[in-house]
């Protein structure tokens, strides 16, 4: 997609249809997994009583397949082009939220990064994630945490993997844990987003930075937004987008939640966010939010 408003009706129409191809792709994986469970494994009732497990496996397959072409592309395009210049500024102890298959790892090889923790709740992606870390020479630096981003999951997993990482935080929570937190196409699917963004803020060290590339609800009430795109988002959600795409939501006010996350300290030191593709059914925000230093 072109981040600027497209000139033709055809381009605008494609912007409305983009999510449909992704949903169809993911749905075929889900029904294939269900079919295998019933007809190959004899688990006739699995689609009813093991829905969560089947969804996890299907989404893992979909995401592996979806991400591979992006790895092979010569130059990132569309929303993917927003990611490299941002992630290359990562430094210190990094939390990579929902890393999937690790397609972002080539951007996390800078010498300014000391340690990376990848919090990935989809266990079906872990083997691919570890393989990617090894192939990029990050095997000793990249730690896979089998958890979501919620503090009640993340902190115990981090404590088990690297107890020393929490030493300062256990003494004084204001010290934080991470210098950089990466949110790339992940806040759309976390439960209790407002609570999650507040917890992420608290886990940043003073002066720490939250790097964001997220698709958001269409700002249809603004001059650059689109009412048609907002309606399309609602239609996709009704048709099962969230079910097939790993609990992803197309209609979250992620920017609002991020700005409010620092309210306890009177706001962020700085917020540098830009909007992209506001005419489409998958508009994005990208940029950096910096926590106040002590």
pLDDT band for position 3 (cuts 50, 70, 90)? low
Task: Give the lowest-confidence range in 186-190, 240-244, 289-293.
Answer: 186-190
DSSP character string of 187-215: TTTSSSHHHHHHHHHHHEEEEEEEEEEEE
| Paired tokens of 214 | 């997220």
Q: Residue 1: is its pLDDT beyond 70?
A: no
pLDDT score recorded for residue 241: 97
Give the Cα separation of 165 and 121 in Å (integer). Answer: 20
User: Can you name the residues that pair with 40 across neighbouring β-strands?
Assistant: none
Coil, strand, or helix at residue 179? strand
Which structural domain range is residue 10 located in?
1-294
CB 288 within 8 A of CB 209: yes
129-141: per-residue pLDDT in tens?
999 999 999 989 9
**Residues near 51 by beta carbon (within 8 Å), at least 6 away in sequence:** none
Q: What is the CA radius of gyration of the chain?
A: 19
Coil, strand, or helix at residue 284? strand
- Report, as an integer, the average pLDDT of 133-161: 93
More confident residue, 63 or 250: 250
pLDDT band for position 142 (cuts 50, 70, 90)? very high
208-245: per-residue pLDDT in tens?
999 999 999 999 999 999 999 999 999 999 999 999 99
Q: Residue 182: is its pLDDT beyond 60?
A: yes
Structural domains counted in the chain: 1
pLDDT score recorded for residue 74: 57
pLDDT score recorded for residue 71: 47
Coil, strand, or helix at residue 290? strand
7-30: per-residue pLDDT in tens?
578 888 888 999 999 999 999 999
66-98: per-residue pLDDT in tens?
877 554 455 677 888 999 999 999 999 999 999
CB 133 within 8 A of CB 105: yes
Q: What is the CATH number of the domain that holds 49?
A: 3.40.50.150
pLDDT band for position 271 (cuts 50, 70, 90)? very high
Task: Give the lowest-confidence range in 60-69, 101-110, 271-280.
Answer: 60-69
pLDDT band for position 101 (cuts 50, 70, 90)? confident
Measure Cα distances from 132 to 85, 105, 144, 239, 291 in Å: 21, 8, 11, 34, 31
């Amino acid at each position: 997609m072109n981040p600027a408003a497209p000139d033709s009706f055809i381009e605008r129409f494609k912007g409305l249809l983009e999510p449909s191809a992704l949903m169809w792709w993911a749905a075929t994986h889900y029904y294939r997994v269900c079919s295998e469970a019933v007809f190959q494994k004899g688990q006739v009732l699995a689609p009813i009583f093991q829905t969560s497990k089947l969804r996890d496996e299907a989404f893992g397959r979909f995401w592996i397949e979806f991400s591979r072409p992006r790895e092979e592309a010569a130059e990132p395009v569309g929303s993917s082009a927003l990611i490299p210049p941002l992630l290359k500024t990562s430094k210190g102890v990094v939390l990579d939220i929902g890393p999937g298959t690790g397609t972002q790892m080539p951007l996390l090889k800078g010498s300014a990064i000391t340690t990376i923790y990848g919090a990935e709740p989809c266990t079906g992606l872990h083997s691919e994630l570890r393989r990617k870390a090894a192939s990029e020479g990050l095997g000793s630096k990249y730690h896979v945490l089998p958890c979501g981003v919620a503090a009640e999951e993340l902190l115990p997993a981090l404590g088990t993997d690297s107890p020393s990482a929490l030493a300062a935080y256990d003494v004084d929570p204001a010290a934080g844990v991470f210098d950089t937190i990466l949110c790339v196409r992940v806040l759309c699917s976390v439960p209790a987003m407002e609570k999650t963004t507040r917890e992420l803020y608290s886990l940043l060290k003073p002066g720490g930075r939250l790097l964001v590339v997220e698709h958001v609800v269409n700002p249809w009430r603004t001059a650059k937004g689109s009412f048609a795109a907002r309606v399309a988002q609602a239609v996709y959600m009704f048709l099962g987008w969230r079910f097939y795409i790993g609990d992803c939501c197309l209609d979250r006010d992620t920017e609002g939640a991020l700005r409010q996350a620092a309210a306890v300290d009177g706001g962020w030191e700085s917020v540098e966010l830009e909007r992209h593709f506001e005419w489409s059914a998958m508009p994005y925000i990208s940029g950096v939010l910096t926590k106040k230093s002590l």
